[in-house]
Amino acid sequence: MAGYELHRGEFTISTEKARLQLDVIAAFLSRAYWAQGRARPAIERSIEHSLCFGLYGGERQIGFARVVTDCTTFAYLCDVFIDESYRGQGLGKWLMSAVMDHPDLQGLRRWILATRDAHGLYKQFGWTELKDPGRWMEVYNPPPVP
């Protein structure tokens, strides 16, 4: 997974992990419905073992996406966000384009994600509901209630 960087005006998307601002990521995820209760060490470990995309306005991190993948057959897209104050500028679409166009993620047989409220964004990139949900199974271990 080689370094990958895109620029658009004052904005940059980069897969360089050293550039990620863990405090920003952890703060956003602590407010996100899908990550409530996820501890900082778990966030750090998930980043360590994933292909991560940071979105920056100048030096400030304003967005993030994480892909769990073998770079051959499968990818799970998760933890996608754009800072509330930067929404409405097409940055979410740009971030999704960067993820979907990444050279290490081409030719995969299957991508998956889970979302409660962003179906419209993902459908613009070819995502659909599961073709055969009856084939899918899961082990779900919700975080303990604090």
Percent of the chain whose pLDDT exceeds 90: 91
Question: Which residue(s) pair with 110 in the sheet?
Answer: 74
CATH class for the region spanning 5-135: alpha beta
Contact predicate 54/13, CB 8 Å: yes
| Average predicted confidence (pLDDT) for the chain | 94
67-103: b (≥16 Cβ within 10 Å) or e: bebebeeebebbbbbbbeeeeeeebbebbbebbbebe
What single-letter amino acid sits at 38? Answer: R
Distance CA 77, CA 69 (A): 9
- How many Cβ atoms are within 10 Å of 36's Cβ, its own excluded? 13
State residue 36's pLDDT score. 86
**So what's the pLDDT on residue 142?**
79
Taking only the tens place, the pLDDT of each residue in 88-138 is 999 999 999 999 999 999 999 999 999 999 999 999 999 999 999 999 999
